[in-house]
């Protein structure tokens, strides 16, 4: 269980050289929602910036009640509103399973997620993910991520994928869908992998040495750090002689909602395209073929 602290741990990535996510030590039992289980606890990092009005505290408490292995680490990213007060009140409702980590200055989602993941790794958490605070991806989806990572010990990364299929409720604004498809195609070509959706705000990671070290350095990208994370991991796996396509699984979401109040604007799409080009120059393309 993570220690409850509002302070941001210093240099958490170097706590131990041992790999807490050794697949040999994992339980093979699949997650069953709402049932007690001996499977490994999972910590989700939830980055928050000026989310006081959009946070739904009851939804987080209900998720903790429904999924006994779940822990939440909220990272207040230098919010200027009452976000920290809302988070502290939420922590008081489940103090044994909620941590509030507060950053003095706003560093952006990439840095908030990075600092939160490193802090969770420093606590010895073997399964860590990150989830958007607006719950565009509902917590009902988490057990499907856990099913994958519990049943497939070779998998280190599980990505939520917003695939609009019959029988699924994936609601995206048309212009975001069109731009997203074009962006995803470019990312797929750059990675050398047929990835469908890198930008969904729901991801789960096994904290192997490769994953932990991928978070040690700040990301160059402020807007598409998810792509940069995959570039770091894919490049490392390739150098180690591992097949990247066996390390990543995409899980099509049953439900995803384009929640009003998103901080992503059309101008950010242009910034993301520029950042993608810069990442291509930094990491080389296609990454998986290097």
pLDDT tens per residue across span 123-179: 999 999 999 999 999 999 999 999 999 999 999 999 999 988 888 888 877 667 677
Q: Is the pLDDT of residue 227 over 50?
A: yes
Mean pLDDT, rounded, for 237-265: 88
Task: Work out the percent of the chain whose per-residue pLDDT is above 70.
Answer: 82
* pLDDT per position as a tens digit, 201-226: 999 999 999 999 999 999 999 889 99
CATH topology of domain 39-135: Spore Coat Polysaccharide Biosynthesis Protein SpsA; Chain A (3.90.550)
Q: Is the pLDDT of residue 22 over 60?
A: no
Mean pLDDT, rounded, for 83-107: 98
Under 8 Å between Cβ of 264 and 178: no
* pLDDT per position as a tens digit, 25-45: 333 333 344 333 448 999 999
- Domain boundaries in the chain? 39-135, 137-290
CA-to-CA dists, residue 10 to 13, 124, 251, angstroms:
9, 15, 34
Task: Work out the percent of the chain whose per-residue pLDDT is above 90.
Answer: 68
pTM of the predicted structure, to 2 decimals: 0.82
Q: How far apart are CA 16 and CA 64, in angstroms?
A: 28
What confidence score (pLDDT) does residue 20 get? 40
Q: Is the pLDDT of residue 265 over 80?
A: no
What confidence score (pLDDT) does residue 284 get? 81
* pLDDT per position as a tens digit, 101-114: 999 999 999 999 99
What confidence score (pLDDT) does residue 258 get? 85
The dihedral sign for the CA sequence 58, 63, 69, 75: negative
In 3-state terms, what secondary structure has residue 244? helix
262 vs 6 pLDDT, higher one: 262
Q: What is the helix, strand, coil percentage profile of the chain, to 5? A: 40, 15, 45
């Amino acid at each position: 269980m993570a220690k409850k602290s509002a302070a941001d741990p210093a240099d958490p990535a170097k706590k131990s050289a041992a790999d807490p996510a050794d697949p040999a030590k994992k339980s093979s039992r699949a997650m069953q929602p709402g049932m007690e289980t001996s499977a490994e606890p999972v910590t989700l990092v939830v980055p928050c910036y000026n989310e006081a009005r959009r946070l739904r505290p009851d939804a987080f408490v209900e998720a903790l009640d429904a999924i006994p292995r779940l822990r939440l680490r909220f990272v207040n990213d230098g919010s200027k509103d009452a976000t920290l007060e809302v988070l502290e009140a939420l922590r008081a409702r489940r103090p044994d399973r909620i941590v509030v980590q507060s950053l003095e200055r706003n560093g952006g989602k990439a840095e908030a997620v990075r600092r939160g993941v490193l802090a969770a790794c420093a606590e010895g958490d073997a399964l860590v993910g990150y989830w958007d605070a607006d719950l565009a991806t509902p917590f009902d989806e988490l057990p499907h991520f856990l099913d994958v990572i519990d049943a497939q010990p070779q998998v280190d990364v599980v990505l939520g994928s917003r695939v609009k299929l019959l029988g699924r409720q994936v609601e995206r604004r048309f212009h975001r869908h069109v731009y997203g498809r074009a962006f995803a195609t470019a990312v797929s070509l750059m990675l050398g992998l047929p990835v469908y959706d890198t930008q969904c705000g729901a991801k789960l990671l096994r904290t192997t040495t490769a994953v932990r070290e991928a978070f040690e350095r700040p990301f160059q990208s402020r807007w598409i750090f998810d792509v940069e994370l995959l570039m770091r991991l894919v490049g490392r796996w390739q150098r180690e002689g591992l097949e990247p396509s066996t390390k990543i699984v995409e899980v099509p979401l049953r439900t995803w909602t384009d929640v009003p109040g998103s901080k992503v604007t059309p101008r950010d799409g242009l910034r993301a395209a520029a950042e993608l080009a810069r990442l291509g120059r930094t990491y080389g393309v296609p990454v998986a073929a290097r």
